[in-house]
Copies of this chain bind each other. A is one copy, B any other.
Amino acid sequence: MMMDYVAEILQGTPLAVSRVITWLENEDERARVLMKEIYSHTGNAYILGITGSPGTGKSTLTDGVTWQLRNKGQTVGIVAVDPSSPFTGGALLGDRIRMTRHSEDSGVFMRSMATRGYLGGLAQFTRGAVKVLDASGKNYVIIETVGVGQDEVDVMRVADTTCVVLVPGLGDVIQSMKAGIMEIADIYVINKCDRPGADQLFAEVRYRVDQDASIKDRTWVPPVVRTVAVEGKGEDDLIEAIDAHRTYLEQSGKLLEKRRERTREETLQMIHHELFRIIRARLAENSRIEHMVAAIMDHSMSPYNVVEEVVSEWLPSL
């Protein structure tokens, strides 16, 4: 039965892809088994990241990029990572009508994922979903995320090319550009550039990019692309910039380097995730964690002692 799923994923059957991503989200044991089987079929898709604050029109841009890629005969998988309450774990996309023009197109698969838990799990799930789409034969996988927090930066590390979307009038450009954006942006997109302030924003971003490039002696200077996504304007320029970045990465050997670094990070994170999962489960047995909390609350133990005790019990020095 599991082998049927493997075959169906490799054939790109949407229902199977969808189900396996759900397993990933639920940390279902079957996901683990399946991921091992399909792993050797990954590494072929090119991974795009599209990130920006709420209201920048990321979804419309993702839609436009997808459209352009489809016109070039490429298949596309989309993972939209949405923020949601860490308390309820619920997604917010239920009410969102989008991707309508692709809904009948078997060359496009779209899936939205909610933020879950609070232990760096977001990037973990995203990586899994990207791999499933990659193995399913999609030529491009687009990761779309809201915002520029630490989680989003982690998610973007999964992408080969990251597009950061800005719009005039949100007023937090300098803040955002300080907050780690310049490290992850391969391409800047000024969307809604029919709005007042677009030229100024363009000049500002251009100036900062040039400054940053000269300081860091970068070999790739991120282009700044202007779009009006709702009218489809600038989509072709964006695709051109993406192609140029891809060519740059491939020819300079940096794509391989980037993917090696990513694999290293992914592996460390997976080991960490799995060890913690097991230890958390063990601590739940016999209410051991509750006893620890009680001891910490009445100051008979410090959490630092508890950590030492747990670590030395389960991971004694080799």
Contacts and interface: CB of A to CB of B under 8 A. Distances in A.
Contacts of A280: 268
A136 interface: no
A292 B267 contact: yes
Interface stretch (A233-241, A243-251, A293-301): A293-301
Contacts of A39: 299, 302-304
Nearest to A305: B36
Contacts of A101: none
Report the interface size class on chain A: 35 or more
B303 A267 contact: yes
Interface in A139-185: 146-154, 170-172, 175-176, 178-180, 182-183
A293 to B, nearest CB: 5
Contact of A147 (B92, B149, B183, B306): B149
Contacts of A8: none
A269 B241 CA distance: 41
Contacts of A36: 302, 304-305
A217 to B, nearest CB: 15
Contact of A115 (B32, B43, B150, B176): B150
A35 to B, nearest CB: 5
Interface in A12-62: 32, 35-36, 39-40, 43, 53-55
Interface string A260-272: 1001101111111
A86 interface: yes
A307 B292 CA distance: 28
A252 to B, nearest CB: 18
A3 interface: no
Interface stretch (A63-71, A103-111, A219-227, A309-317): A309-317
Give the copy number.
Answer: 2
A83 interface: yes
Contacts of A302: 35-36, 39-40
Interface stretch (A116-124, A191-199, A202-210): A116-124
A283 interface: yes
Nearest to A267: B303
A4 interface: no
A40 to B, nearest CB: 5
A84 interface: yes
A32 B304 CA distance: 7
25 contacts: A40-B299, A53-B172, A54-B179, A83-B149, A83-B178, A84-B179, A86-B153, A86-B180, A88-B183, A92-B178, A92-B179, A118-B153, A119-B120, A119-B269, A147-B147, A150-B151, A151-B151, A264-B289, A268-B283, A270-B304, A271-B310, A271-B311, A272-B276, A275-B311, A282-B318
- 5 A-B pairs closest in CB distance: A149-B149, A39-B302, A83-B179, A54-B175, A36-B304
